[in-house]
Structures are given as structure tokens and as C-alpha cells.
Structure 1
């Protein structure tokens, strides 16, 4: 992963083992849950280490970014899902874009919603 500035981390406990949580993660994040390369528009797959880590990255004119999901066992049937974000927003347009995406709280809402959807799918 390219060296980017840390943005934030959000986490949620899921009432399912790590294998089931991994499948739920792929159901929520990927267009085709059988293929981790089918990530959302704007991202490409950086790495997929079943059943513990899914790393996405992307870039466009106003930013370079990464979103990494990590799954850790909390117990025999509970998994902790963490979503960590990194990004850089170069130039004046990048600063405006950062204010819109990060400063508005929109990023936080989207990531927490994804974690809720993963927990529900598991």
C-alpha cells in the first residue's frame, strides 16, 4: 500500500465466526461475492487474505485513498470487523474535496453503514 495519511478507524462486533463474517464482507463490498476483485467503482483490489483482510485502494484527481477491512476473532462465534481509512488530498481542489468527504462526516456515515450491513449479512 502506498504511504498515505491516516484518516480513521471504525469497528463493530459481529455475531458470527470469521469465515461467515468474511463471506458477509464480500457480499456487502463486492459486486460478485465470489470474486474479491469486483470491488466498488472508484476502488481496485489491493489484497485479499481470506478470511482476515480485504484491502482496497483508489485514486482520482483530488485524492489517493485506501480502505482496509480486518477481521479478528473475539470468540468462537464473534468477529471484530475493523475498517481503516487512509488518504491524501493534494492541492487546493483536494482540500475542498477533503472538507466535503471527511469534514462533512459523510465518510464516517458510509463506513459505519457498511459495517452495519456486514453484521446484518453475517
Structure 2
């Protein structure tokens, strides 16, 4: 995972403790509804499988869980015909009953089709919008 080139990182502050954020993160990811997209782009993992709540070896459409350190870090890896990528979530305490959730993205886009895909997903800002929406959904679920 660390061999993949760094793409970006986004973060949000959450008015909830790290345990609540962890629970909300797992629930949000497990309900993300990406199966159709994962099939279209040819993801290696396009269905949900494995232990629940998410743990090492679990899959969700588009990703396999490679690290699950409760209330601290969740690392996901994936690949499809245009890219190999990782999404690493880190949860840090940020004062009494508060947390900071960070999402780091890494990826490689080989070949001409990979370059076109990168332009469509990264270059247009679609990736940024998707990650920020995901972080917002986790924040709302954590604070509810």
C-alpha cells in the first residue's frame, strides 16, 4: 500500500469519541452501495463478503480490508482494470468527546486507459466530492 503514489488527504472534525466514529465509519462503508460501479469497472472485489463488522479480509464493493485497528485505522485496497488504489482512514482523538477523521488516498493508473480514467475521476474533482461526502456521512452518523 505504501508503494502506491500519494493522491490526496481529506479530514473532518467530529463531535464524537473515536469509538463512535469507528462504528459509524464501518456502518457507512458497509452500506455505500457501490456494487454496480465496481462491476462496471471490473473491480477484483465487487461484492460484500467476510466478517462483519468489517475486519481484515472483509470486502465491500471495490475494496478489501487490509488493516482494521479498532477506533484508530482502517486501510482498504482495491484494483480494477484502470487502477490499483488504497484508501486509509485514520481516527484521532481531538479533545474531550471529539475526534478527527482523515482519509488518505493512494493510487496508480497505468497505461493510456488508466490515464484517461485518472483524468475523469481525479482530474474532474469527482474523487474529492466522493471522499468529502463519505466523510460527511460518517460525521453525521457519529454525531447522531
Superposed pair shares fold, TM > 0.5: yes
Which of the two has greater strand per residue?
A: 1
1:60 paired residue number = 80
Structure 1, unmatched stretches of 5+, are none
Q: What SS does the corresponding residue of 1:75 show, helix, strand or coil?
A: coil
Structure 1 window deviating more from structure 2 (108-117 vs 32-41): it is 32-41
What's 1:100 paired with? 120
Aligned: 1:47 with 2:67 = yes
Q: CA RMSD in A?
A: 1.6
Shift of 1:80: 0.2
Instruction: Name the count of aligned residue pairs.
Output: 122
Task: Please give the TM-score of this superposition, normalised by the length of structure 2.
Answer: 0.80
Counterpart Cα distance in 2 of 1:107 and 1:39: 20
In the TM superposition, residue 35 of structure 1 has moved relative to its aligned partner by 1.9
- Hey, what's the Cα distance between the residues in 2 that align with 1:53 and 1:103? 27
Q: Is the 8 A contact 1:59 1:65 kept in 2?
A: yes
- Aligned with 2:60: secondary structure? coil
Alignment of 1:7-46 (within 5 A): 7-31=7-31, 34-37=52-55, 38-46=58-66
Q: Distance in 1 between matches of 2:133 and 2:59?
A: 17
Q: CA deviation at 1:10?
A: 0.2
After superposition, residues 69-84 of structure 1 pair within 5 angstroms as: 69-84=89-104
Shifted more, 31-40 versus 95-104: the winner is: 31-40
Partner of 1:121: 141
